[in-house]
């Protein structure tokens, strides 16, 4: 068995930025729309869902600003991100400026029974927003 000893870094150095230092964020999901980066996150509350946040930056390294909660709906839907937490933003292949907000819906009493929420991302004044839809299909993006 051979062991390796790493003495130097080869290639570009790792570059990173701390976004909102001192805050606790989890469930990151990012998209790029018309030259701007948007990052969905939420607070760290374990199994309990909470309000989503969306942040925006012209450069992925910042500075970042927070327009607020991207959810549109009832008070409860806004407060708990439709009972879910962001996990990924899926670009829709073959549709321009079309994205799907994908989220986990955890069940603390039965972890294997976790569910998923998929909702279309709508842009209002250049900011991604998510509204609840009981039913929708990819034709949603043709109506833009």
Quick one: how far is CA 140 from the chain centroid? 20
User: Backbone phi, then psi, for 123, in 5-degree steps?
Assistant: -100, 125
Tell me whether residue 4 is in a domain.
no
Tell me whether residue 16 is in a domain.
no
- Residue 71: give its domain's CATH number: 2.115.10.20
If one counts the domains in the chain, the total is 1
pLDDT at residue 2, rounded to an integer: 54
pLDDT at residue 129, rounded to an integer: 98
Tell me whether residue 11 is in a domain.
no
Tell me whether residue 88 is in a domain.
yes
Tell me whether residue 85 is in a domain.
yes
What pTM value is reported for the model? 0.87
> For the sheet containing 127-131, what is the strand order?
71-72, 127-131, 115-124, 99-105, 85-91
pLDDT at residue 4, rounded to an integer: 58
Tell me whether residue 121 is in a domain.
yes
What domain range is 119 assigned to? 26-143
Tell me whether residue 90 is in a domain.
yes
Query: How far is it, in rounded angstroms, from Cα 37 to Cα 19?
Result: 13
Mean pLDDT by runs of 10 across the 144 residues of the chain is 60 77 91 97 88 96 95 96 96 95 91 92 96 96 83
Rg, the chain, Cα only: 18
Tell me whether residue 1 is in a domain.
no
pLDDT at residue 46, rounded to an integer: 80
């Amino acid at each position: 068995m051979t062991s390796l000893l790493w003495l130097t870094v080869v290639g570009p150095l790792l570059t990173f930025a701390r976004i909102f230092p001192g805050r606790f964020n989890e469930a990151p999901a990012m998209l790029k729309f018309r030259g701007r980066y948007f990052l969905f996150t939420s607070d760290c509350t374990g199994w309990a869902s909470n309000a989503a946040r969306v942040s925006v930056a012209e450069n992925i390294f910042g500075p970042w600003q927070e327009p607020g909660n991207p959810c549109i709906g009832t008070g409860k839907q806004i407060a708990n991100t439709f009972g879910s937490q962001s996990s990924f933003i899926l670009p829709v292949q073959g549709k321009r400026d079309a994205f799907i907000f994908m989220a986990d819906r955890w069940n603390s009493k039965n972890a294997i029974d976790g569910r998923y929420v998929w909702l279309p991302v709508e842009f209002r004044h250049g900011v991604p927003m998510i509204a609840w839809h009981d039913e929708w299909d990819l034709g949603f993006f043709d109506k833009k």
